[in-house]
Structure 1
Amino acid sequence: MRRPLSRRLSTAAALVAAAVVTPLAAPVPAAADGVVIGGSPVQVSDSPWAVALASRDRFGGTRAGQFCGGAVVSPTTVLTAAHCLSLEVLGAPLETVEDLHIIAGRNDLRAAGGREVAVRSVWVNEEYDSFTNAGDLAILTLDKPLPKDHVIPMAPVGDRAYEAGTRAQVYGWGDTTGQGDYARSLRAAKVQVLADTACEAAYPGNADGTYLRSVMLCAGEVEGGRDACQGDSGGPLVARGRLIGLVSWGSGCGQAGSPGVYTRISELLARMAPTAAKGS
């Protein structure tokens, strides 16, 4: 999981401005820090905006090369975590990975169905900080558009979906136990948005990272048991039908007192707004 948003998001704004919508009433390179613990299988058709990020060249073909998740915010735009595209995760420089693609609409990664779409270009937040885990954002531009019903609206600043106590769901194909038991089908876990003070207490600044409320979001259960884990990084956190976060980082998976930390979507939208307005 992991990271604050860049202070220079002009390139990102240009890539995603079209996606700003009115809110609705194994022995392979190490997988990213993120997996759905305490969840259950869900139908991709009910959450088509949840997609898998994959590379068979880097991660093999057993699970179609899945190594992270992503959220569709426009027919040709997918948001994911910056750390998913790091040398540490990929095991090779990003520019050398020639088969980077997303998998949409596939319930079982080992089966056929759905569609695989190549990633045409990648924007990785230049100010992603692997020490604090701030700015954990990357934007993928797809080679071909997905259907419009795959798009999920993003929750803006002030949306009630960010309020502490709000019920949410986190989605992914990652580790389901914290012991390397990776899911073959999409899973979701019910969590709740936690108060910023809870995450500040859990992550005041140590080897795990530093919780920064302006650019991060905290979600999980106080007693633990439901969380994202290895392989879920970059996947969507959804509340009230809107995207509020991307799986970023945390200490362990589903542990009491160590909630999951997510890249806060409202911060992205706030930084994009001036650029989007100029272009309108």
Structure 2
Amino acid sequence: MRHPIARALARPLILAAVAAAIPLASAAPVAADSIVVGGFPVDVSKAPWTVALSSRDRFGGTRAGQFCGGVAVAPTTVLTAAHCMGEDVLGAPPEQVSDFRVIAGRTDLLSDQGAEIAIREVWVNPGYDPQSNAGDFAVLTLAEPLPQDAVIAMSAAGDPAYEPGTRATVYGWGDVTGGGDYVRRLRAAYVHVMSDARCGEAYPGGGDGTFLADSMLCAGEERGGRDACQGDSGGPLVARGKLVGLVSWGSGCGRAGQPGVYTRVSEVMRTLDWDGRNAADGRHGTA
């Protein structure tokens, strides 16, 4: 499920520019009724803060150049995964990708719905560790603002949304089977937030990866079948109406006992010194 710079099994959830770059064969097959995996179609009007990252020059026009997801947390501020901004992904530093866009307000990637907005600035968390996937987030500043009602609030530390057992929803345009079956229309899947102890058991270190509770959160189903997958990286995990996670990494797609791992949004807020007062115009710190 994840990306060529990491381990074969515990890898970031990104859609590669070259199909051979991601070892899709390593992903275990999921149940036949698993349609993000184990999910359902959703109109973007139900999740207007969910956006797609696009570069047709790099990824082709079949899916409007979509390669990762993102989430609007202020009119000109989009969060995504740091690993989506790597030169091995984009072919160049992000500021040199001339057609790098955020696609907002679009359910079907090939429709003319919504808008494609240029990126004015990219800030990648300097604390991001590509080996452990800790700190896997980046901030995109848009050249044009989104409507205020197209942004979502973030959950600070201690929010009940992080409590184990809380039902959450993950959104994306990625692989729906774990076998390279990418969709044009936005999908969502219901998962449950898992305890740090359970996540640590699932990813204690080694080939499957290491769960780090300070910067990561995991969610899924014990029996598998619902999960994010390739192409969903950087997309939102939402619980109790707030953003709690960004799709980051995991082992396979929808595997029993192998939940998806997300960047913990409370840690993003701490790193950015984000207290809600700066949400109106997208200002953020770089602490």
Same fold flag (TM > 0.5): yes
Find the counterpart in structure 2 of residue 127 from structure 1.
127
Find the counterpart in structure 2 of residue 164 from structure 1.
164
- 1:121-158 superposed Cα distances (whole Å, 9 cap, x missing partner): 10011221111110101000000000011110001110
- Judged with a 3 Å threshold, the aligned counterparts in structure 2 of structure 1 residues 113 and 101 are, in CA distance, closer, same or farther, namely same
The separation in 2 between residues aligned to 1:124 and 1:203, in whole angstroms, is 25
Retained in 1: the 8 A contact 2:78–2:139?
A: yes
1:48 has 2:48 as partner? yes
Task: Give the letter for the 1:244 counterpart.
Answer: V
Find the counterpart in structure 2 of residue 219 from structure 1.
219
Matches within 5 A, 1:52-71: 52-71=52-71
Find the counterpart in structure 1 of residue 17 from structure 2.
28
Find the counterpart in structure 2 of residue 266 from structure 1.
266
Retained in 1: the 8 A contact 2:269–2:275?
A: no
Q: Structure 1 residue 277: deviation in Å?
A: 8.6
Find the counterpart in structure 1 of residue 154 from structure 2.
154
Provide the aligned C-alpha RMSD in A. 2.4
Task: Give the letter for the 2:137 counterpart.
Answer: L
Partner SS for 1:250:
strand
Q: Structure 1 residue 179: deviation in Å?
A: 0.7
- State the TM-score, normalizing by the size of structure 1: 0.86
Find the counterpart in structure 2 of residue 181 from structure 1.
181
Percent of aligned positions that are identical: 63
The separation in 1 between residues aligned to 2:276 and 2:152, in whole angstroms, is 18
Task: Give the letter for the 2:155 counterpart.
Answer: A
Find the counterpart in structure 1 of residue 244 from structure 2.
244
Q: Structure 1 residue 31: deviation in Å?
A: 7.0
Q: Structure 1 residue 90: deviation in Å?
A: 2.2
Find the counterpart in structure 1 of residue 12 from structure 2.
none
Find the counterpart in structure 2 of residue 103 from structure 1.
103
Give the stretch that moved more between structures: 239-248 or 102-111. 102-111
Which ranges in structure 2 are unaligned for 5 or more consecutive residues?
4-14, 28-34
The separation in 2 between residues aligned to 1:32 and 1:273, in whole angstroms, is 37
Retained in 1: the 8 A contact 2:94–2:100?
A: no
More helix by share: 1
Find the counterpart in structure 2 of residue 196 from structure 1.
196
Retained in 2: the 8 A contact 1:244–1:264?
A: yes
The separation in 1 between residues aligned to 2:54 and 2:107, in whole angstroms, is 15
Give the stretch that moved more between structures: 105-114 or 174-183. 105-114
Task: Give the letter for the 1:129 counterpart.
Answer: D
The separation in 2 between residues aligned to 1:235 and 1:109, in whole angstroms, is 15
- 1:71-123 superposed Cα distances (whole Å, 9 cap, x missing partner): 10000000000001112322344343111110011111111111110111100
Runs of at least 4 residues off by over 2 Å: 26-35, 87-96, 270-279
Give the stretch that moved more between structures: 263-272 or 44-53. 263-272
The separation in 1 between residues aligned to 2:131 and 2:143, in whole angstroms, is 33
Partner SS for 2:251:
coil
- Judged with a 3 Å threshold, the aligned counterparts in structure 2 of structure 1 residues 262 and 49 are, in CA distance, closer, same or farther, namely same
The separation in 1 between residues aligned to 2:96 and 2:22, in whole angstroms, is 18
Retained in 2: the 8 A contact 1:128–1:134?
A: yes
Retained in 1: the 8 A contact 2:16–2:89?
A: no
Retained in 2: the 8 A contact 1:32–1:230?
A: no
The separation in 2 between residues aligned to 1:265 and 1:180, in whole angstroms, is 28
- Judged with a 3 Å threshold, the aligned counterparts in structure 2 of structure 1 residues 124 and 72 are, in CA distance, closer, same or farther, namely same
Retained in 1: the 8 A contact 2:128–2:135?
A: yes
Larger RCO of the pair (alpha carbons < 8 Å, separation 6+): 1
